[in-house]
Amino acid sequence: MSDFIYLASQSPRRRQLLEQLGVRYELLLPDDDEDTEAIEAVLPGEAPARYVRRVTGLKLDAAAQRLRRRGLPRAPVLCSDTTVALGRTIYGKPEDERDAARMLRELSGSTHRVLTAVALQNGSRRHEALSDSRVTFAALSPRQIREYVATGEPMGKAGAYAVQGRAAAFITRINGSYPGIMGLPLHETAQLLRACGIAA
């Protein structure tokens, strides 16, 4: 039984959340030549929950191959992916500031879902979970959107916002897992870790 796990994520928020659980981890980040963007492409007509589960599974497959290729000590590997959805429309990371502003305009004054899938590979066994939360935004003025986009915070974030950042001022209601919206649902993650014999 391992006393640590590998975290296959570049997100500082996921590291922070894992530290909150008191779990020892090593980062298992992609090589420079790995095409991580291609993994996140949405298939035509794909439902948000199916999409986020599939992408998390592909990220975990890539991380498991990375572990073998590098000849690292064996330990469970944790992967996670978050997407924002309004109806069946999936909002990934914005391509640029204009795209970020478009997303925020569309999310303004409505309730959207934040789906975070978590997967943990332990030897040949894989454990998976899905966190599904709802977030309601107040109506945002063009100026609010412009000023928020100018901070740079929306870039690299699903749905073009960070719940733990300045966008918290836009949120009127949350129903679900706050850490799940941040990128790693702690209740579900702890359950997966315990299933692998890791205290969390």
- Scan for tokens 């998976």, then name that residue: 128
81 is catalytic: yes
Residues 6+ apart with CB under 8 A from 82: 52, 114, 115, 116, 158, 180, 181, 183
Catalytic annotation, pick one of 32, 35, 81, 132: 81
Residues 6+ apart with CB under 8 A from 118: 56, 78, 79, 80, 128, 129, 130, 131, 184, 185, 188, 189, 192
- Residues classed as catalytic: 81
